[in-house]
Each structure stands twice: as C-alpha cells, then as structure tokens.
Structure 1
Amino acid sequence: LIIKDHHKNAAKEIVNIIHPEILNSKSKYIITVSGESGAGKSEVAESIAGQLKELGINSYIFQQDDFFIYPPKTNAAKRKEDISRVGIHEVKMDLLEEILIAIQNGITRTSKPLVIFDEDRIIEETVDLNDKKVIIVEGTYTTTLKHVNHHIFIDRNIYDTRGSRQERGREVQDEYLEKILLIEHDIISAQKVLADIIVNKDYNVNKIK
C-alpha cells in the first residue's frame, strides 16, 4: 500500500465523525469503505484502523477481494472469456452479509475465505474478533451491504484514479482493462447514493445524513 497524507487526513476526518458513535455503541461498530479501482479504499481503511488504534480502539479489516467466487488469476481468465461476467455477481456478497449479521449478533470468532494470490487458490481462515470494537469492510461493492453503521464512499472515478493505478502497477493499463473499469464504474457510481459519508476526489470528507 502507498499511504499518503491525503489518505491519513481523510481518515482523520472520518474518525472524528464516527468516534463518538463508536464509544456509545454497545455492539461492534461496522463501517464500509468503497469506491472504484484505485480510489484509495485500502489506504483509507488502513489509515482509519491506524488512527482508531491511537485512540485505543482495535479494529479488523475484511477485504472484499477475499470473497470472490474464483481466485484472482482464474477470475481474470473467465473475464477474458466473457467480459459480461464483470460485476457484483463475481463476489460472495451474501456470505459477507451473513458474517456481518453474525458479528452484530455477538459472535467473536468467524471463518472467512482468504485468497492466496501467488497460488491462485482460496483457503479458509478463522479470525478472532474478541478485542475488535470496529469492523471495517473494504471493497468496490461494499456499499450494498446492509448490516452496517456507516457507508463511506470514495468518489473518484476511473479518470481521477488513473495516476494511482499506474503508481501501484498491479495491472497492465490497456484497452481491455479500460473496458472492465468502465463496466465497474457504471455499477459502483450508482451505489454512491447508498453512502452517508462521501470522500470527494480531493479527499475532503462530507457527512450526508
């Protein structure tokens, strides 16, 4: 991850909004961080976790990437066969929702998928959430999850994120990737209305409702 000052500053503003609510929450407090590819979801999520830690609040980050039906290289090959596969149906959002419901109901340990990228496989791991007050769920489609306290949406589109994507160098920036990103853009941008904390393209934070 390449965490910069603007990620930290946005996280600080978000923590200022949610901190009083966390202190008043009798159960675990759940937030999502969503946005398009390269928007800074992972960086902001990690920054939120770090700033909560400084306040003595432990958190755990669930990454949507672990919940894809197929491991990454297999999924990429299936997209090559049929680009219409791209979308929320590639992800086990129902499993993620079930885990959040169980957490709200008081469970302190849960099993979850874990992607082993280099081996292109998915294993299962058990995570201990006993001392974790805040659950952060990070990923492109996490705004659609229902059992949460706040949805945070990073409002940076594929044109705003081009520099970030090139900097991290995870994918080859070509015409095929651009098609995928445009499909994802149409899906993800439509989910912005579900969010109640918006981080704009300059990383300023606004609470909507």
Structure 2
Amino acid sequence: MQGDKLVIGDEHRWAAGELVPMVLQALTYKGAPLVVTVAGESGAGKSEVAFELARRLEAQGFRTIVIQQDDYFFYPPLTNARLRRVSLDHVGVSEVNLEALDATVREIRGGSPRVVKPLVIYEEDRITQEELDAAGVQVVIVEGTYTTLLPSAGLRILLERPYHELQLARRQRGREAQDEHLEAVLAIEHRIIAGHRERADVAVDLSSRSVERLCSFRAKLPPGLEAGEPARG
C-alpha cells in the first residue's frame, strides 16, 4: 500500500531475527517459492516484521517479496472506513478479496516472472495496479490481518501483543480516529483472529518476546518437490 508508514523498532527486529531460522528450515525443500504469512490484530506490527524479515532474508541471499493484504480490500481505505461506520456488519474477512490475494501468490509460485496486482494509494483513497518483478523469488511474505486463511500458505505466523500495546501502536500510526466505533471494530477483529490461532504454525508475542511453536514448521509441499538445502539466488 502506497502511503503506509513503517516504524521498525527493536521488538520487530527481534521477531524477525527469531523467524529467520524457521523460514530457512521450511526452505529445506527445493521447488516453488515458500509462502510465509504474517497475521495479527491491527497494531500488532505485521508490516514492520514482514519487511524486516524480508530484509534479513535478502541479506542472506534469498530473493524475497512482500505482499500486503491492505492492497486487496474490495474498497479503498477511506471508503471502507465509511462503510464500517454505516454498519459493523461490514467488518471482517468479507472486506478482503482473499481469493484474489491467493491467486497472486499462486501466480508467483507458478513461476511467473512478472505479476500484476492491486495497489492502494492511501492518500487518494483509490485502488490502482502495479507490476511486481517476481523473477527468481524464493520466499513470498504475505502480511495482513486474515492471511492465516490463505490456502497457499506454507508457514503461518501469528503476531500477538497485549491490548494496551496494540492501542499505542495504532495511535502512533495515526490512520483512524481513536473513538468508540474503532473500539467496536477492533473487538470484532479480535474475536475473528482468536479463532485463527489454531491454524497458525508459530505464535510470536512481541511484548514478552516469546515464540510458541504451535505445530510443524515444515512447509506444506506440493507433490514432486525434492528434499535438499535451500537454494540461494
């Protein structure tokens, strides 16, 4: 999303450092790019952790691309916010075109060197398109609230933080008015995300700096991939 403001702090760098070995473990198979999802509530630090993780993987020689769920809402951000104020029934997974997001990821995994995807221009409240250079990509990081639901995900990461820290992070970001309506929206989001925890492979608490391995890290592989060391670009 054009206009997104990232504030990468020590906690995001710590989380990315913890996640790099897990991504490398999942990359012990050669073949299609590994899809890593970074999910969590608003203010959890998804974008910051995703881009810091990508930076570290690139530094180790792994071609990495980040895709943001924010580009796949059916409506641009300010319009979507107005619709939420009309009815809270608008809030939830149905706001996001997850099918289109997964299609973009599958296109990259299928080997397309260039992929056209939506791009939100936040300040102009509009959705346009951009072309991504996906040639040689080995890791696709998809960050966003509901990305744990993506069928193509190989490693699902869930970020967790105490409520007061989520509030502080949202205030620092300054996207929405901090009022009762926003609290109602976030309460709905919280209930939805709580139900996604059982789908995650790894839960990362940025406050206590703890990592919980919820199940196997090994990527869910398509048939025919060969075991081996991660291939560097």
* Corresponding position of 2:66: 61
Give the deviation of 1:23 after TM superposition. Answer: 4.9
Instruction: Give the residue type in structure 2 aligned to 1:208.
Output: L
The alignment status of 1:83 with 2:94, answered yes or no, reads no
CA contact (8 A) 2:20 2:56 kept: yes
Which of these residues, 187, 205, 208, is aligned with residue 202 of structure 1? 208
- Where structure 1 has 5 or more consecutive residues not aligned to the other structure, the ranges are none
Match of 1:193 in 2: 198
Asked if the contact 2:26/2:155 (under 8 Å) is kept, the reply is no
Q: Distance in 2 between matches of 1:20 and 1:182?
A: 35
Is contact 1:36-1:157 (8 Å) kept?
no
Which residue of structure 1 aligns with residue 137 of structure 2?
132
> CA offset at residue 157 of structure 1?
5.1
Check the 8 A contact 1:71/1:117 in 2, yes or no: yes
Q: Which residue of 2 aligns with 1:110?
A: 115
SS of equivalent to 2:111? coil
Structure-1 separation of matches of 2:39 and 2:68: 11
Aligned partner of 2:3 in structure 1 is none
Query: What amino acid maps onto 2:180 in structure 1?
Result: E
For structure 2, the 5+ residue unaligned runs are 1-5, 216-233
Cα distance in 1 for residues equivalent to 2:173 and 2:83? 24
Counterpart CA distance in 2 for 1:126 and 1:23 is: 29
Aligned residues: 209
Partner of 2:7: 2
Alpha-carbon displacement from aligned partner over 1:146-180 (angstroms, at most 9, x marks no partner)? 11210000122544411212222222211111011
1: distance between equivalents of 2:204 and 2:181? 28
- 95-104 vs 115-124, which moves further: 95-104
Which TM-score applies when normalising by structure 2? 0.85
Give the match for residue 29 of structure 1.
34
User: Do the aligned partners of 1:158 and 1:182 also contact (CA within 8 Å) in 2?
Assistant: no
CA shift for structure 1 position 112: 0.6
Query: TM-score, structure 1 length as denominator?
Result: 0.94
| Aligned match of 2:44 | 39
Bigger share in helix: 1
Say if 1:133 and 1:189 are closer, same or farther in 2 by CA, change over 3 A.
same
Give aligned-pair identity as a percent: 42
1:48 maps to which of 29, 44, 53:
53
Letter in 2 for 1:207: R
**Whole-Å separation in 2 of the counterparts to 1:65 and 1:158:** 22
